[in-house]
A and B are shown apart, each in its own frame.
Chain A
């Protein structure tokens, strides 16, 4: 059905920097150019985003990618069928620790350059030392059990032989409260999307230990979640929405627009945070433990190098982590549900005419590129940047069963308490 001009789409978002493509699409004229009125609705929890999608207060939303899989797998309250026609970019979250934990980590040899391997080894040493002293295990906050943050943190811990529930206690903490919880000593660290790591640094509550890009360069995080029934009824509006958000994502990537983007996101109706705490992540120069800005390649990329492409291999990687974390039992049918949640076909049909770089395949072996490499593209020239996992492992979506059976990847652990 063709949507009339000035067609309203209600989009939910959580105040995090990676809502930028939606905010820019709504405020930068990109939605209007497609004949859409994109109404943004700010929410304070992912649970409320999910509930408002369920009762059709929202048509689409900025969501955690694994939330869409969980909904389609029937997990959690009010599961509403969702599709993911595009990603909102490569991840922009950090693992931030309290100043107290950082001084222990630093003494145990943690690096100053965000590198994930050294940080994990130092944490293992600190935990072993605490255990000898009879001290309690450190507590880390995550934003949601179905989140890239949870899986990345667990994956990173596993490298050093650490398991949530046994060596580290995981708790869910709302990101806006994470910095205060760190300062008050209620948690020792957290994994959350920007700007919350930078907020904690600016408040003197903690230091950024490592980042998403250092754990899994060009790994995914938030996506555009769309109610399946809405998408089926409004095919034309969805095409126009994908175009508007993609154009907005390209705008967000342009360094020339960075200051303007920070100002826009800083507004009270969006993130309501000073532009200064948004600029480190937007400029990919986060404050390192010595207090200096440090360039983090591959951090928070919105559209470049097909960052907005909904790779089926990303959906399957998330599914594999859900299995490894004990959230769902592995089944071929479940894997198929996860894969079918992502809709690269919709992305292709909306954006091919716009000249967007289009990968030839819908899935890839994740972590296979040690350096920037040309990749098969059906349109445009696609150079995928190094996408390595910090531990050098690869994820082959064709060998899902083998991957989830490999206990070295993420040891089975207790879900967060």
Chain B
């Protein structure tokens, strides 16, 4: 098991080729209650040459803050409950520069799917050229995906560690109560798991619980 390191995150140069140098004037506002993810995405945007990035992780007074920040592109995480409020505000407010949802023309179906699968929604001030916005969105999407992948790997690593501990403990119980050797204990666990079409760790866990109930195991 290998845990992704920041080195595995998409490199800045991957997105720079889209012509980020001309995008310096675009002010990107990132709204994400998840501060860690927000800072990773912010870093990615900066590395890609988008110097004007503002992050909002606190949803208080969101409307007033947006008016003050006056962004050209707004990136919002899809799970943010404030999306309905933001969309309505963009539609009717005279105070902000009328951002519209990205891809309203639906010309780029694959980008829409990629964004939504990654958990990204984006709004762009009307009139801003699509070519200028796409690299920003691509960066956001790849960083969202990277954070997601990192977290899934971390979760898997945690589970794997817990699994190993459970199997070790179950082997110990079998060795003690049934007088088995370690390979014998492992073989029994594996055989039971195969017969029942379950994971070895699950069998180990039920054995630990059962042993605990029967008082067959001393507290370790």
Residues of A within 8 A of B (CB): 43-48, 51-52, 54-55, 57, 76-78, 143-145, 171-174, 176-177, 414-417
Contacts and interface: CB of A to CB of B under 8 A. Distances in A.
Contact of A77 (B59, B80, B87): B87
A78 B112 contact: yes
Interface of B: 59, 78-85, 87-89, 91-93, 100-101, 103-104, 106, 112-113, 116-117, 121
B81 A145 contact: no
A45 B106 CA distance: 21
The 4 closest A-B CB pairs, nearest first, are A77-B101, A174-B81, A45-B83, A172-B88
Contacts of B112: 54-55, 78
Given A414-B92, A415-B88, 20 more contacts: A44-B80, A44-B81, A45-B80, A45-B83, A46-B84, A47-B83, A48-B79, A48-B83, A51-B116, A51-B121, A57-B116, A57-B117, A77-B100, A143-B84, A172-B89, A174-B84, A174-B85, A177-B82, A415-B91, A417-B92
A167 B83 CA distance: 26
26 contacts: A45-B81, A46-B84, A47-B84, A47-B87, A48-B78, A48-B79, A51-B116, A52-B116, A54-B116, A55-B112, A55-B116, A76-B91, A77-B100, A77-B101, A78-B101, A78-B103, A78-B104, A144-B84, A145-B88, A172-B89, A174-B84, A177-B82, A415-B88, A415-B91, A416-B92, A417-B92
A82 to B, nearest CB: 16
Contacts of A51: 78, 116, 121
Nearest to A56: B113
Q: Which residue of B82, B85, B91 has the most chain A CB atoms within 10 A of its CB atom? A: B85
B80 A145 contact: no
Contacts of B79: 43-44, 48
Nearest to A42: B79
A16 to B, nearest CB: 13
A6 to B, nearest CB: 18
A172 B101 CA distance: 17
A283 B201 CA distance: 45
A261 to B, nearest CB: 24
A294 B88 CA distance: 35
A414 B59 CA distance: 25
Contacts of B116: 51-52, 54-55, 57
Given A51-B116, A55-B113, A77-B101, A417 B83 contact: no
Contact of B88 (A48, A54, A144, A414): A144
Contact of B85 (A76, A172, A414, A415): A172
Contact of A173 (B85, B100, B117): B85
A193 to B, nearest CB: 13
A174 B78 contact: no
Contacts of B59: 177
A55 B83 CA distance: 17
A47 B121 contact: yes
Contacts of B81: 44-45, 174, 176-177
Contacts of A76: 87, 91
A48 B80 CA distance: 9
A144 B91 CA distance: 12
A139 to B, nearest CB: 12
Contacts of A77: 87, 100-101, 104
Contact of B93 (A43, A174, A176, A417): A417
A309 to B, nearest CB: 28
Contacts of B117: 55, 57
